[in-house]
Amino acid sequence: MTTIDDIMRTAPVIPVLVIDDVATARPLAEALVAGGLPVLEVTLRTPAALDAIREMKRVPGAIVGAGTVVSAEQFEAVMDAGAEFIVSPGLTERLAAPIVASGVPYLPGVATAGDIMRGLDLGLTHFKFFPAETSGGLKALKALAAPFYQCRFCPTGGITEDTAATWLAFDRVLCVGGSWVAGGTPAEIEAKARAASALRG
């Protein structure tokens, strides 16, 4: 099974996707993959999310995960839908334990040293720094990362096309999460994805 480290190193940006209409899911995934962003996080913020995961899984080359997973019940539902990795906005032992036990790649959200230590206790070393900008930005992440040399991060929340490269320049950051790549026509989305895939120079 692919590891979360492999997934995070696949592309510099993981599109964070809110799908309202399942009919848009496959064209969106096709455009993002064509532009060089194959790792897709479908957030569980809409009723269409599970069907969107199923549709995006049909796109060759797409690596489709579920975001905003906050309960064991949601974890089971997204696994039934075919999710290949799990992202949560925070980290609790109750949620993390069954995910870790399953071996599915998992990226839990952290914002404090206590969060990271809780993750380390569970055997996790890769985290989503969330919400990145309102939690103190890159300065805060650098301070947090200092004592946790073994950890790697995917900052998400408030990151834009203009700021992504600055985050990616920090060696503890393997990728960033962002929604700016997901708007527009399929051609526009592919162009944004192509630009984002070139951010890691």
Peptide bond into 147 cis (omega under 30): no
Beta-ladder partners of 177 = 14, 156
Fill in the amino acid letter for 121: D
From residue 167, how far is each of 1, 66, 171, 189 by CA, in Å? Answer: 28, 23, 9, 22
DSSP letter (8 states) at residue 163: T
Q: Which member of 128, 133, 190, 192 is catalytic?
A: 128
Contact 64, 40 (CB under 8 A): yes
Ramachandran region, residue 185 (left: φ > 0; alpha: ψ -120 to 50; beta: rest)? beta
Specify whether 128 is catalytic. Answer: yes
Specify whether 139 is catalytic. Answer: no
The alpha carbon of 101 is separated from its chain's Cα centroid by a whole number of angstroms, namely 20
The alpha carbon of 88 is separated from its chain's Cα centroid by a whole number of angstroms, namely 9
Nearest by Cα to 75 from 39, 111, 104: 104
In the numeric block, the tokens 């950051």 are attached to 173
Q: Which member of 41, 84, 133, 190 is catalytic?
A: 41
Cα–Cα distance for residue pair 53/65, rounded to 1 Å: 7
Residues tagged active-site? 41, 128
